[in-house]
Amino acid sequence: MLVRRSLLLYVWMSLLAVSLSEVAEQVLAENPCTSKKICSDCMQTPSCAWCFAQDYNGPRCFNPSIEGGTAGCDESYVFNPDNQQSIDPMYNRELTRAKGQMGTGMESSYYEESMSSSNSSSSSSSSSNSSSGVKGGAYGAAEGENVLQIRPQRVTLQLRMKQMLKMSFSYAQAQNLLPVGDDLDNMLNIIREQYNKIITSVEMKDTSSDALQISYYSSCLGSKDTVVQTNKCDGLKVNDVVEFTAAITLKECPKDPRKWKQSFAIYPVPSGAFDSINVEVEMRCDCPCEHPGHHAYDGRPEVCNGHGISECGVCVCKPGYFGNYCECYTDGEVPLEPESGCRPTNATSGPLCSDRGTCVCGACACNIMEDRLQVISGQFCECDNFSCDMNKGRLCSGPDHGECVCGKCSCRPGFTGPACN
């Protein structure tokens, strides 16, 4: 009966170990944050935050939605930036509005300005002629002032990996109508006829890099409730204003940190439009505390045992050194994951040193028992000499029958059975 119970207990413990390992692997798959050991790797993992407090003992890279907001870290030491957008008012000027509608006085204003521009251009330089491709348009502008067709004109973005930011902007349809001939009435008729006939389209394009993904949305001239994914609107007339939304996502951080700051333009086509939006992008691919000047950056010789730099609460070790405090050294290749030497081969998760020891420099230092006759051993502290099957209260039926070796009875000659009984 005792042997049967021991076998059942062994089977149950084995199944429990397998189950716990599977659960650990599932948790790791659902929460990839905990495996990141430096802040920049954490920032390049979607939905992750970093704790840079010096005295923090939990996983520094964590998922706030899974681990309770701050995972026990003081909120003032949590780095978890969101996507951000900012617009300088200087570059958020109103679209240039028309001075009136056709048939309500715009014609005379248009004619007077156009003729004035025409007369002045005959005696002006080529630069003056140029300032006259903006004078007198349907979106009329003062002398030397550009017609503004897009608002805003410049935007600054801060983007996290795989997190979408929606940027709204407006486009106004404008058209320059240059009068032809000397007869005023004939000229006004031509202008009115052309004005009413202008129906065109606009298409938004951009010069973004492969690191970014941009999708455009608009209701064009329809109801705001009918927004669809499109970068093109048809049927526009002079003075029509269309609202667009650009959904911008940082797909990946470029390998070259110099490319973590980029700029691109969003512009309307066909060619001949006056404006574009200049978009400045700062990719949040690392952390401020990884750079000198931040209070959580310490490059003094006495930190990290003199073999590394303290960044964001952890030691970043010099080549050849590893460990939480750069206390370990190897003359060979340092493993990317030093703790891997404290788990069975091919195990990427699960307890270190079988939860019966401490991982020191990539090797297990097994716990010492109060009863010095009880010994935990093995490369991963998986063995001991006190958890074998018992018979009549004695391990392996006593030393005359056998001894406990790595959790199993090693029987002496003449004895057999799980407890050598």
Which amino acid would we find at residue 33?
Answer: C
Residue 273 lies in a domain: yes
What would the mean pLDDT of 380-385 be, rounded to a whole number? 92
d(CA 14, CA 8): 10
Per-residue confidence (pLDDT) for residue 360, from 0 to 100: 85
- The predicted pLDDT at position 408 comes to 92
Domain of residue 264, residue span: 84-283
In a domain, 103, yes or no: yes
Residue 47 lies in a domain: no
Higher pLDDT, 141 or 81: 81
pLDDT at 219: 96
pLDDT at 113: 39
Given a contact cutoff of 8 angstroms between Cβ atoms, the answer to whether 250 and 160 are in contact is yes
Q: What is the pLDDT of residue 115?
A: 36
Q: What is the largest CA-CA distance in the chain?
A: 127
Residue 188 is assigned to a structural domain of this protein: yes
Q: Which helix (H) or strand (E) holds 242?
A: strand 241-250
Residues 338, 344, 347, 350: what is their CA dihedral angle, to the nearest 10 degrees?
-90
pLDDT attached to residue 97: 56
| Cβ(165)–Cβ(159) below 8 Å | yes
CA distances from 337 to 49, 106, 316 (A): 20, 74, 13
What's the confidence (pLDDT) of residue 193? 64
Residue 132 within a domain: yes
Residue 33 lies in a domain: no
pLDDT tens across 117-149, in order?
333 433 443 333 333 363 333 344 444 445 788
Residue pair 364/392 in contact by the 8 Å Cβ criterion: no
Count of structural domains within the chain: 1
Q: How confident is the model at residue 182 (pLDDT cuts 50, 70, 90)?
A: low
Give me Rg for the CA atoms of the chain: 36
| Amino acid making up residue 190 | I
d(CA 390, CA 388): 6
Contact 70, 50 (CB under 8 A): no
Q: What is the model's pLDDT at position 224?
A: 85
Domain annotation covers residue 180: yes
Q: How many CB atoms lie within 10 A of CB 90?
A: 9
> Which runs of consecutive H residues, i.e. helices, occur in 70-183?
106-121, 126-131
Predicted local distance difference test score (pLDDT) of residue 400: 92
Q: Range with the lowest mean pLDDT among 10-14, 261-265, 325-329, 359-363?
A: 10-14
Instruction: Name the least confident of 265-269, 335-339, 365-369.
Output: 335-339
Is the residue at 297 inside a domain? no
Phi and psi at 213, nearest 5°, equal: -120, 125
Give the DSSP H/E element, type plus range, for residue 243: strand 241-250
pLDDT score of 374 more than 70: yes
Q: Is the pLDDT of residue 54 over 60?
A: yes
Q: What is the mean pLDDT of residues 62-85?
A: 92
Residue 304, number of CB atoms within 10 A of its CB: 24
Give the domain CATH number at 271: 2.60.40.1510
Q: Is the peptide bond before 351 cis (omega within 30 degrees of 0)?
A: no
